[in-house]
Amino acid sequence: MFETNATIELHHTDAAGAVFFADYFVIAHSAYERYMESIGFALDQILTSSAFRLPIVHAEADYRRPVSLGGQLSILLRVDPGNSAFTASYDFKDARGEVVAILKTVHVCVDKKTGEKRPLPQDLREAFLEITS
């Protein structure tokens, strides 16, 4: 499991002063970028130097309680790899440790040139499994 933190900034909030629902995905994606870098697969390097891409093909979220401007969140990220796809699960916890939102994204590995589904590179799959064990 990977853990990172975020502070709710004004641009994350809606007119009611709480995190705008879609901004949880923005925050989750930042956590995903940090995670991928931490396992040696920085997304900028994948985009410029790899023969594959990892687009999101499904996303879902459950919201449990509002978080306001200045709120501190801890994001716990778990990755469950399959043959050619993986699910990233995000638990957002507030400063009291209570879960305020749960998100999931499903990424599929595709060939950079053809856009066709392909198996995850073995070294990436192993990196996913190493951090989850």
pLDDT at residue 132, rounded to an integer? 57
The separation between the first and the last C-alpha atoms of the chain, rounded to the nearest angstrom, is 8
CATH assignment at residue 56: 3.10.129.10
| Structural domain harbouring 71 | 2-132
Determine the Cα–Cα distance for residues 45 and 24; give it in Å rounded to an integer: 25
Determine the Cα–Cα distance for residues 75 and 3; give it in Å rounded to an integer: 6
Confidence (pTM): 0.93
Question: Total structural domains in the chain?
Answer: 1
> What are the tokens at 28?
């989750």
pLDDT tens string, the chain, 133 residues long: the values are 899 999 999 999 999 999 999 999 999 999 999 999 999 999 999 999 999 999 999 999 999 999 999 999 999 999 999 999 999 999 999 999 999 999 999 999 999 999 999 999 999 999 999 865 4
Is 14 one of the catalytic residues?
Answer: yes
pLDDT at residue 130, rounded to an integer? 86
How many degrees, rounded to 5, is the angle at CA 85 between CA 129 and CA 43?
75
